[in-house]
Amino acid sequence: MQPRVSDVEQIKKQVRKLAAGKVLAGDQADVGLDLGPMAGCRASICGGYGALSQKPEAAPHDRLIWLLDGYAEIHEAGGRVTHISQGESAVLKGGCAYRLVFPQLTLYLKVEAVAGP
């Protein structure tokens, strides 16, 4: 039997607090708390602020991001920019290059495919 997450709001508060501490210190935020093991994927609630890289970098695995609160820009290697906001999601394909930018403190669910056992 897999563990259940009983209070997602509590996890969101913890992530927001971790991210806010980095932002108040003048840093970019890229923090997260795992939701527990799942078959074939890893899920976490993350907090982001600022540009998480200087240029688009290849995603190692397929990744779904679903914004819980805030706004994000997804910059692709070819110069294309996709804007998503609260309640919207995007799939980042493994092997393709992306650069995530969070203009404001943003909370999101991240689900990544993981390699087999």
Could you read off the pLDDT of 43-101 as tens digits, one per residue? Answer: 999 999 999 888 899 988 899 999 999 999 999 988 999 999 999 999 999 999 999 99
Rounded Cα distance, 76 and 87, in Å:
21
Outline where 25-69 has alpha helix (H).
none
Per-residue pLDDT band for 116 (boundaries 50, 70, 90) equals low
Strand pairing report for 63-69 and 81-85: unpaired
CATH label of the domain that carries residue 78: 2.60.120.10
Q: Who has greater pLDDT, 39 or 116?
A: 39
Q: How many domains is the chain partitioned into structurally?
A: 1
Q: Which helix (H) or strand (E) holds 22?
A: helix 8-24
Per-residue model confidence (pLDDT) at position 9: 83
**Is 1 part of any domain?**
no
Domain residues for 52?
A: 8-113
> Would residue 81 count as lying in a domain?
yes
